[in-house]
Amino acid sequence: MNKDMSNSTPARQEVLVDLALQGGGSHGAFAWGVLDRLLEESWLKIEGVSGTSAGAMNAALLADGFAAGGAEGARKALDTYWRHVSEAARFSPFQRGPLDRLLGRWSLDNSPVFVFMDMMSRLYSPYDLNPGGFNALAPILARQIDFERLRQSPIKVFITATNVRTGRPRIFRNAEITPDVLMASACLPTLFQAVEIDGESYWDGGYSGNPTMAPLVNELDSDDTILIPINPVDRPGTPKSAHDILNRLNEVSFNAVLIKELKMMALLRRVADVSTGEGAQWGRMRVHMVRNRIMDKLAASSKLNAEWDFLSMLREEGRKAAEEFLVENGDDIGKRSTLDIDQLIAEMK
């Protein structure tokens, strides 16, 4: 594809796509950057978005902003949200320690408050440490997103949360999305109390779908899914500290659901009979992935770092990754998969 990917390039035929957004706390600002760049391409028509945790926030903001003012409205909504997150974080006890600042590291590993809270979370639950159930993101979401407008958005949204009782995912669609739904999708059980919706308790959707892919295939007309990952599949080295071990366990479990679903999709695509219509949607599906080359270099604790400089860096990395994706794969969108999910089947043998 032409390396000048700006809006000044000749118009090309519109392609209907959907997006799959992983979660990961502040690391979701990387996906913000990817979305910001993709929204500059008028030929990419976004039909739907599936999101979990921070991906759920980005998905809802994108759809609501788009309903208010098209692609520019979506870009503005995302920018405003992440700025508000950063402003709220100025009063957070989770701040980088002097050593991390001196060495130019984004982690909170040497933050006294983070270390203390990390230790306390192994002894006490959020019901002990935060009996009021306060979450700083709740008022930001309630203030910024017009949930009535989100119901009418031309972009369909699928938000996943995990039912605590059954361990199964629940997928919330536009008309069902509320601030509580978004908070449930991002509810890490070691940090927050479970969120109750319709008499059921919910935890982070990453445990059961990060993000959930099936509704993108079954409920949309788009045949092209663009996956924007946050959690690294590969991380060099063997974790040794208790915190690093727990973090890697979370990454593996969060990625396992997505990998399993992609493998299932690959298998279903192999057996789909496009000629008779049996499973035709699986036979037509095309999958693409924006490469994320920075997350394995960031400490897990930086997911709680919401300094504006950090979020801005992640946003720029996301824009660069999206630019690289468009240059390498833009011409293939709407024609063929650029992520070889069939290779996943070989890995199962």
Mean pLDDT of 246-268: 75
Specify the higher pLDDT residue, 286 or 232: 286
Does 3 have pLDDT greater than 90? no
**Residue partners of 286: CB distance under 8 A and separation at least 6:** 223, 224, 225, 333, 334, 335, 336, 337, 338
Does 18 have pLDDT greater than 60? yes
Average pLDDT, the chain: 87
| pLDDT given at position 346 | 56
φ, ψ of residue 230 to 5 degrees: the values are: -120, -45
Lowest mean pLDDT segment, chosen from 210-219, 255-264, 281-290: 255-264
**Residue partners of 317: CB distance under 8 A and separation at least 6:** 30, 33, 294
Binned at pLDDT 50, 70 and 90, residue 233 comes out as confident
**Rounded percentage of the chain residues whose pLDDT exceeds 90:** 55
**Residue partners of 54: CB distance under 8 A and separation at least 6:** 21, 22, 23, 24, 25, 26, 27, 28, 31, 186, 230
> How far apart, in whole angstroms, are the C-alpha atoms of residue 187 and residue 241?
24
Output the CA torsion sign for 321, 324, 329, 333. positive
Does 174 have pLDDT greater than 90? yes
The pTM is what?
0.89
200 neighbors 164 (Cβ within 8 angstroms): yes
Does 344 have pLDDT greater than 60? no
Binned at pLDDT 50, 70 and 90, residue 273 comes out as low
- For 32, counting Cβ atoms within 10 Å of its Cβ (0-12 exposed, 13-18 middle, 19+ buried), the class is buried
Does 238 have pLDDT greater than 90? no
105 neighbors 299 (Cβ within 8 angstroms): yes
Helix 137-144, helix 54-89: angle, nearest 10: 110
- Round to the nearest angstrom and report the end-to-end CA distance of the chain: 35
β-pairing, 156-163 vs 169-173, is antiparallel
Residue with tokens 């999305």: 177
**Residue partners of 259: CB distance under 8 A and separation at least 6:** 233, 344
> How far apart, in whole angstroms, are the C-alpha atoms of residue 104 and residue 66?
36
Does 158 have pLDDT greater than 70? yes
Tell me how crowded residue 72 is: count the other CB atoms within 10 A of its CB: 13
